[in-house]
């Protein structure tokens, strides 16, 4: 399982209370996570990334294993600890007020 | 039993308020979409249980939501609102040209007779529509591609299309307004648009009488008086008696004619309501006293309505979509403030109550009557 942590606004949209889990069989990259997320939670469509630009939304940050993956390409292969479910991939809204 | 429902959009979610026809005891549900900006939510006039909501924020973008049960449950519909063809450019604040870029939906206007058809006014200014209940949206590109659009510029809140009026008897006739471009009319369902800004004067423009560039804050029209349009402009309250072909000022004895909202009594097409705001830099009522002004003469004379409204230390704003009327008799009038208070009158504005709630800053209020 891939563990995914979402910010509160997206948990509200997706009607989930806590961390969610995605089946790990077809997930290797950040892009795989995004695609799987939107497949299982269509209400999140377009909230984390722009499919046309193949890029995360500007104020979305992506962290895993104490690393900032935000500026890495979406086909970046996730750290082993994320792939084996020991660590979550974390999406947060950039701290920009609000 | 007849009921009244208020759809309240705020900076941090939506709230739904319900009451019976007496409009004294209200129940409140929400926040729906907590943490999200709900610029507007509006029900279909044809099916009062079909509600559309624009839910967005700067981090996670735009989502469009639909309810089929009066706001008890919601489902996401398509959030794909893509401009058609060449993006074109508009003026930015500094006078440079910028390409049109979708930011959010400001206003939703459901069709009078088809619950699946809705128009969406967006920032950067354009008009979209859906015929399938929001499952897909298409742009009506002729407006954004109007020859004047390269001269449109954003108002302080962004370059938003915020007012959409559909003629009840002829849905091909529509009126929209953009801040800061002005008002436009179509007689062919959006294939072509005519700027209708003659008579508007804006001193922040190099040509004060320019065809476009005016910061229109809100438009209103009564179905029973289809030739007459009312406008709250940045400064100036305006009236047209010929479907927008020309305008004249009706600010008259208002203490200040800056403001955002303007609305019309449900049963009296010549009775108007505005909330004067001190100035474009001081977005609060004069002297900290919140006053609705009513004209029962189509704008010839205005009277302050203060009974039940805070008359000291009140420094809130009332945003452009934050006033609404219901169709009951006597007519109910509702408005929300950036301070999160919601004020309501069930006697045509003569006296006011305040809902027992402190909401986040209120962006929009829509009233509907459920038979």
Q: Are B332 and B342 spatial neighbours (Cβ–Cβ below 8 Å)?
A: no
Q: Are B103 and B83 spatial neighbours (Cβ–Cβ below 8 Å)?
A: no
Looking at beta carbons, which residues of chain A come within 8 Å of B64? Answer: none
Q: What is the CATH number of the domain that holds B121?
A: 2.130.10.10
pLDDT tens digits, one per residue of A60-77: 999 999 999 999 999 999
Q: What is the pLDDT of residue B303?
A: 98
H/E element, A32: helix A30-40
Q: Is pLDDT above 90 for B64?
A: yes
How many distinct structural domains can be found in chain B? 1
CA separation for the pair B51, B72 (Å, rounded) = 10
Return the closest-CA partner of residue B157 out of B8, B338, B344. Answer: B338
CA separation for the pair B8, B341 (Å, rounded) = 11
Residue B244's pLDDT band (cuts 50, 70, 90): very high
pLDDT tens digits, one per residue of B88-117: 999 999 999 999 999 999 999 999 999 999
- The interface pTM score, or ipTM, of the predicted complex is 0.92
Q: How far is CA B344 from CA B23, B82, B325, B336, in A?
A: 9, 38, 9, 9
pLDDT tens digits, one per residue of A20-47: 999 988 899 999 999 999 999 999 999 9
Q: How far is CA B9 from CA A14, A60, B144, B178, B273, in A?
A: 20, 24, 26, 20, 20
Interface with B, mutate which of A7, A8, A13 (most B CBs under 10 A): A13
Q: Which of A46, A96, A98 sits opposite B61 (nearest CB)?
A: A46
Return the closest-CA partner of residue B335 out of B320, B347, B350. Answer: B320
**How far is A80 from chain B, CA to nearest CA, in Å?**
28
CB spacing of B76 vs A96 below 8 angstroms: no
Strand order in the sheet with B237-240: B216-220, B229-233, B237-240, B248-249
Residue B297 belongs to a domain: yes
Average pLDDT in the B39-43 region? 98
H/E element, A43: none
CB spacing of A60 vs B62 below 8 angstroms: no
B127 preceded by a cis bond (ω within 30 of 0): no
Q: What is the pLDDT of residue A97?
A: 53
Rg (CA), chain B: 19
Structural domain of B159: 29-328
B180 preceded by a cis bond (ω within 30 of 0): yes
Residue B163 belongs to a domain: yes
Q: Cβ–Cβ contacts within 10 Å for residue B365, how many?
A: 30
Rg (CA), chain A: 12
CA separation for the pair B64, B151 (Å, rounded) = 29
Q: Say what the pTM is.
A: 0.96
Return the closest-CA partner of residue B251 out of B295, B197, B204, B291. Answer: B295
pLDDT tens digits, one per residue of B338-351: 999 999 999 999 99
pLDDT tens digits, one per residue of B249-286: 999 999 999 999 999 999 999 999 999 999 999 999 99
pLDDT tens digits, one per residue of B176-222: 999 999 999 999 999 999 999 999 999 888 889 999 999 999 999 99
pLDDT tens digits, one per residue of B290-342: 999 999 999 999 999 999 999 999 999 999 999 999 999 999 999 999 999 99
CA separation for the pair B254, A3 (Å, rounded) = 60
Q: Is pLDDT above 80 for A98?
A: no
Q: What is the pLDDT of residue A24?
A: 87
Q: Any idea which fold A2-93 has? A: Ubiquitin-like (UB roll) (3.10.20)
Q: Which residues contact A89 (CB under 8 A, 6 or more apart)?
A: A2, A3, A4, A5, A30, A33, A62, A63, A64, A69, A78, A82
Residue B294 belongs to a domain: yes
pLDDT tens digits, one per residue of B143-166: 999 999 999 999 989 999 999 999
Q: Residue B210 is encoded by which pair of tokens?
A: 């320019």
Average pLDDT in the B354-358 region? 97
Q: Which residues contact A57 (CB under 8 A, 6 or more apart)?
A: A47, A48, A49, A50, B59, B60, B61
Residue B359 belongs to a domain: no
Q: How far is CA A5 from CA A16, A45, A56, A58, B155, in A?
A: 10, 16, 16, 18, 37
What sign results for the dihedral spanned by CA atoms B45, B20, B73, A46?
positive
Interface with B, mutate which of A6, A8, A9, A62 (most B CBs under 10 A): A9
CA separation for the pair B142, B84 (Å, rounded) = 10
With H, G, I as helix, E, B as strand and everything else as coil, classify residue A44: helix
Q: What is the pLDDT of residue B164?
A: 98
Q: Are B167 and B226 spatial neighbours (Cβ–Cβ below 8 Å)?
A: yes
**How far is A9 from chain B, CA to nearest CA, in Å?**
6
Residue B273 belongs to a domain: yes
For B31, nearest residue in chain A (alpha carbons)? A12
Residue B338 belongs to a domain: no
């Amino acid at each position: 399982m891939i563990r995914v942590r979402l910010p509160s606004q997206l948990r509200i949209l997706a009607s989930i209370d806590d961390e969610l889990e995605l089946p790990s069989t077809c997930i290797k990259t950040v892009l795989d996570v995004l695609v799987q997320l939107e497949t299982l939670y269509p209400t999140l469509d377009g909230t984390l990334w722009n499919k046309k630009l193949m890029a995360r939304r500007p104020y979305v940050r992506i962290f895993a294993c104490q690393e900032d993956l935000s500026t890495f390409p979406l086909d970046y292969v996730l750290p082993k600890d994320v792939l084996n479910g020991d660590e979550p991939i974390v999406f947060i809204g950039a701290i920009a007020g609000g | 039993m007849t009921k009244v429902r208020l759809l309240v959009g705020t900076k941090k979610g939506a709230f739904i308020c319900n009451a019976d026809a007496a409009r004294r005891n209200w129940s409140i549900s929400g926040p729906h979409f907590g943490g999200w900006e709900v610029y507007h939510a509006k029900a279909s006039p044809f099916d009062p249980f079909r509600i559309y909501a624009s839910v967005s924020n700067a981090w996670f973008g735009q989502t469009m939501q639909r309810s089929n049960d009066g706001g008890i449950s919601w489902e996401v519909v398509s959030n794909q609102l893509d401009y058609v063809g060449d993006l074109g450019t508009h003026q930015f604040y500094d006078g440079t040209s910028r390409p049109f870029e979708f930011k959010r939906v400001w206003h939703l206007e459901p069709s009078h007779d088809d619950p699946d058809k809705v128009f969406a006014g967006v920032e950067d200014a354009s008009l979209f529509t859906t015929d399938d209940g929001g499952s897909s949206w298409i742009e009506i590109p002729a407006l954004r591609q109007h020859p004047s659009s390269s001269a449109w510029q954003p108002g302080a809140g962004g370059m938003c299309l915020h007012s959409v009026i559909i003629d009840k008897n002829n849905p091909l006739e529509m009126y929209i307004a953009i801040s800061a471009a002005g008002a436009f009319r179509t007689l062919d369902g959006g294939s072509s648009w005519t700027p209708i800004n003659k008579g508007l004067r804006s001193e922040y423009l190099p040509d004060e009488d320019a065809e476009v560039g005016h910061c229109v804050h809100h438009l209103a029209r009564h179905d029973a008086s289809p030739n007459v349009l009312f406008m709250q402009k940045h400064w100036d309250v305006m009236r047209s008696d010929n479907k927008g072909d020309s305008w004249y000022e009706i600010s008259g004895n208002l203490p200040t004619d800056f403001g955002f909202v303007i609305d019309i009594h449900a049963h009296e097409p010549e009775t108007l309501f505005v909330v004067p705001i001190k100035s474009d830099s001081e977005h609060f009522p004069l002297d900290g006293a919140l006053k609705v002004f009513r004209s029962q003469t189509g704008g010839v004379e205005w009277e302050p309505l203060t009974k039940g409204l805070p008359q000291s230390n009140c420094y809130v704003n009332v945003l452009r979509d934050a006033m609404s009327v219901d169709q009951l008799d006597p007519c109910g009038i509702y408005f929300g403030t950036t301070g999160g208070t919601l004020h309501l009158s069930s006697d045509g504005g003569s006296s006011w109550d305040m809902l027992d709630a402190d909401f986040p800053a209120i962006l929009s209020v829509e009233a509907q009557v459920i038979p």
